[in-house]
Amino acid sequence: MRYTFAFILLTTPVFAEDSDHLVKIDGVEILHAWAQASDGPKARVFVEIENDSDTPIILRGGDAPDVAASIALMGASIKAGGDPQPIDEMPIAPGSHIDLVPDGLYLALDGLKAPLTKGEEFEMHLILEPHGEVEIHVEIEAADATAHSHAGHSH
Amino acid sequence: MLSVWDMVSATAQNIVLLVLLLLPGLVTGAIVLRGYAAGRLLWALIWAHRWVSLVFAMLIAVSVAIGTGLTAQERGLREGSAKAAEPFDLIVSAPGNEITVMFAAVYLQPTDMPLLDGPTYQAIADHPRVTLAAPIAFGDSYKGAPVVGTTPQFVTHLAADLAAGRMFATPEEAVIGADVPLQVGDDFSPAHNIGEAAEEGAHGDFAYTVVGKLPANGSPWDKALLVPVESVWEIHGLANGHTADWDGTLGPPFDPAFFPGTPAILVRAEALWANYALRSEFSTERTMAFFPGAVLARLHGLMGDVREVMSGLAILTQVLVAASSLAALTLLTRLLSRRFAVLRAIGAPRRFIFALTWSYASLLIVAGAAVGLILGLLTSRVISAVISARTDILVQAGLGWPEFHLVAGFVSVTVILALLPAALTLRRPVVSDLRS
C-alpha cells in the first residue's frame, strides 16, 4: 500500500500523544492537523502549534515520502493577487503559538502519490527544531474546508 | 504536458490560447475561401447594402462591448482596490467583522468601532518583530473628508517623500492627501463625526495648519487629512497618550496609562514569516488581527464568481445577437438571391456563391467584434471614472488577454455558425430566382 494511512496510535517513545488530534512533545502541542482533499498533484496541510516550553522552536517544513514527493512551508500572499511565498523557517517563541490556516502559513504537498479523499487520514512528519521529525496524524477534510472539523476544541 | 505548460511564460500561454481560440474560425475561412478571391465582389455587396450591413455590425459590436466592458471593469476594480490596500500589511482591531474594519481602516469608510486600549497597543508596539505599530484614529472630518489621527511614522510609511511641505511636528499641524482642496499654509477646523452626522464647531475654535501634502496614490487616503493622534485625543477631551513630562515629540512611545484608545492599529514586520506569527499572536479574545490583502482576495474571489456568471451571460448575449444577425442575414440573402442567381447563370460555381455569402457574414462579425472591443474599452473607462469619483479608489480599466480571448472565441463560434446561411443560399432555385 503506497499510503501509510494511520488508524493506530503513535508509539514513538520521545513523546506522548493524547489523541489523534493532539501530539505533545516537551511542552509543545501540535493540534488538529488536517489537509484539504485533492485529486491533483498538490495539496495543503494545516495545523496548530503551541509552544508552551521554555525554548524557541522552529518549523521548517514536513516530510511524508509515502504521501508526497515534497512538503514545503509556504505563506499565502498577504497582498491581494499576490503569489504564495516559500518560508524557510517559522520561529515560534516560548509562550506563543502559530496556526497554519488556508489564508496564511501552510504546508504545501507536491507530487501526491495518490488522491487525498475526504474522511481518510495519513501520517507525516513535521520538521520542528530542536525536536527533529515529529510524527503527526493528518485528517482529510473537504477540498473547500477552511478549518479542521474539531477546530476550537482544546482537547 | 501540464508541467511543460506551467514552464511557459504567461504571455506565451495567452498567445497560444488566443491562437487556439481563433484557429477553428481561421481553418473554416481557409477551407471555405480556398481558391477564390471574392474581395471586390464582397466589397460591392457590402456597399450595395451598406446600411443594413452597418446595423448588423453595430448589433454585434454592442453585444461584444457589453461582454468585454464588464470583464475589463471587474479587473480594473480588482487591481485598483488591491493597490489601494498595499500599504496595509496587518491590521489589529477589536474583535468584529474583518470586512467592516478593512473598509474603515483601509478605505476610510466611516463606521463606529470599539477602541483598543493602551496596554493592548503597548503589547503590539513592544513586540520584537513589530517594526511599525501606528494607531489609525478616525471619526472627525473636514467638509466630508476624513480627518485621521496617526503618527509621523505612518505618514512616512504611506509616502517616504512628501509632494510638498514637511511632516507635522506639533499637535496643531496636518499633512493632507493629494486631492484635498487645501494648500500648505491653509488652516482648517475639524468637525466631530463624518457625513450627515458631522457636527461643525464641536471642537471649538481648534484649527490645524497644513504643513505638508502627500503624493497621489490612487486610494481614499488621497482625500484624507492626516493629523497627530495626540491632537485627536486632546480635542475630544482625552489624555494625549503621553505623561505630563512629555517633551512634545509626536508619536510613540505612548504611555499605556494615558493612551485613550484607537479603533485600529497598522502593524508592519520586516520578515514575511513574522506577519503570520503576529497575526496568530494578536488573534485573541480581545483583539482581531487580519491581512487586508487576504480579506480583499476573498472578496475578489467572490467578484470572480460573479464575473464568471456575468461573462457567461455576456457570451450568451453575444451568441444570441450573432444568431439573430445570422438569421436576419439569411433573410437578406433572399433579397440577394437574384444577384446570386445571375452569378450562377454566368458560370459562377456553387461553392463560390457559398464562399461569398459566408465571407459577407464573417466580415460583418469580425468588423462588429473589432468595433465592440473599442466600444467596450471606452465604456469601461467611463464607468471607471465614475467609480473612482465615488469611491476614491483609482480604477483603471483596460483591455487585457481575457477580453481578447472572449472575442476570439466569439468570432470563431459565430463564423462557423455563418456556414448555415451560406449553405441555405445554395438551396435556392436558380431559375425561379432569375425570374423573380
Q: What is the pLDDT of residue B315?
A: 75
Residue B399 has a pLDDT of: 86
- Asked whether residue A154 is assigned to any structural domain, the reply reads no
Give the number of other Cβ atoms within 10 Å of residue B345's Cβ: 12
**Residues near B250 by beta carbon (within 8 Å), at least 6 away in sequence:** B151, B152, B168, B169, B170, B171, B228, B230
Give the other-Cβ count within 10 Å of A66's Cβ: 14
Residues of chain B scoring pLDDT < 50: none
Q: State the DSSP H helix or E strand holding residue B63, giving kind and residue range, or none if neither.
A: helix B50-85
With respect to residue B61, please indicate whether it lies within any of the assigned structural domains.
Answer: yes
Distance CA B397, CA B320 (A): 26
Question: What integer pLDDT is reported at residue B213 of this predicted model?
Answer: 96
Mutate to test the interface with B, among A79, A96, A106 (most CBs of B within 10 A): A79
Angle at B297 between CA B296 and CA B301, to 5 degrees: 115
A residues 83-142 lying closer than 8 A (beta carbon) to B? 85, 87, 89-92, 96-99, 103-105
More confident residue, B83 or A19: B83
Asked if residue B349 and residue B278 are part of one domain, the reply reads no
- The answer to the question of residue A99 being in a domain is yes
CB atoms within 10 A of CB B370: 16
Whether B341 and B199 share a structural domain: no
CA–CA distance, A83 with A99 (Å, rounded to integer): 20
Backbone angles phi, psi at B163, to 5 degrees: -70, -30
H or E element that contains B122: helix B118-125
DSSP H/E element including B226 = strand B225-228
Determine, for residues A96 and B281 on separate chains, whether the beta-carbon distance falls below 8 Å: yes
Is residue A67 in some structural domain? yes
Q: Which residues of B touch A103 (CB under 8 A)?
A: 291, 294, 297-298
Domain that residue A134 falls in: 18-138
Asked if the structure places residue A113 within a domain, the reply is yes
Grade residue A5 by pLDDT with cuts at 50, 70 and 90.
very low
Could you tell me if residue A103 is inside a domain?
Answer: yes
Cβ <8 Å between B300 and A77: no
Residue-wise over B164-174: b if at least 16 C-beta within 10 A, else e?
A: ebebbeebebb
State the pLDDT at residue B211: 97
Amino acid symbol at B204: G
Nearest CA in chain A to B80: A80
**Structural domains of chain A, count:** 1
How much helix, strand and coil, in percent to the nearest 5, is found in chain A?
0, 50, 50
Chain A positions touching B90 (Cβ under 8 A) are 78
Least CB-CB distance to A79: which of B86, B273, B279?
A: B86
d(CA B374, CA B372) in angstroms, rounded, equals 5
**B307 and B183 in one domain?**
no
Asked whether residue A114 is assigned to any structural domain, the reply reads yes
Residue ranges of E strands in A13-52: 16-19, 22-25, 28-36, 42-51
Domain assignment present for B1:
no
Residue B59 structural domain: 11-84+299-435
% of chain A with per-residue pLDDT over 70: 82
Query: Which amino acid appears at position B317 of this protein?
Result: T
Say whether pLDDT at A4 is over 50.
no
A38-83, pLDDT tens digit by residue? 998 999 999 999 999 999 999 999 999 899 999 999 998 888 878 8
**Facing A78 at nearest CB: one of B275, B280, B298:** B275
At position B99, the amino acid (one-letter code) is I
Checking if the pLDDT of A14 tops 70, the result is no
- Check whether A124 has a pLDDT greater than 90: yes
Domain with residue A120: its CATH number is: 2.60.40.1890
| pLDDT for A16 beyond 60 | no
Q: How far is CA B233 from CA B58, B152, B239, in A?
A: 60, 16, 6
- Of A93-97, A146-150, B422-426, the least confident: A146-150
Residue A24's contacts (CB-CB under 8 Å, 6 or more residues apart) are: A15, A16, A17, A18, A30
Q: Quote the pLDDT of residue B356.
A: 87
| Contact list, A91 vs chain B (CB under 8 Å) | 273, 277
Classify residue A117: in a domain, yes or no. yes
Helices (H) and strands (E) in chain B, counts: 15, 10
- Choose among A79, A89, A105: nearest Cβ to B82: A79
- Does position A9 have pLDDT exceeding 70, yes or no? no
Which residues of chain A have a CB within 8 Å of the CB of B82? 79-81
Question: Contact at 8 Å (CB) between B322 and B104?
Answer: no
**CA A123, A125, A127: angle at the middle one, nearest 5?**
165
Q: Cβ contacts (< 8 Å) between B300 and chain A: which residues? A: 80-81
Residues B205 and B329 in one domain: no
> By the CB < 8 Å criterion, does A144 face chain B?
no
User: Using CA atoms, how far apart are residues B129 and B274, in angstroms rounded to an integer?
Assistant: 6
User: Nearest 10 degrees: CA dihedral of B318, B324, B330, B335?
Assistant: -120
CB contact under 8 A, A75 and B272: yes
Model pLDDT, residue A146: 81
- The one-character DSSP state at B395 is -
The reply to whether B305 and B271 lie within a common domain is no
| CA B146 from centroid of its chain's CA atoms | 23
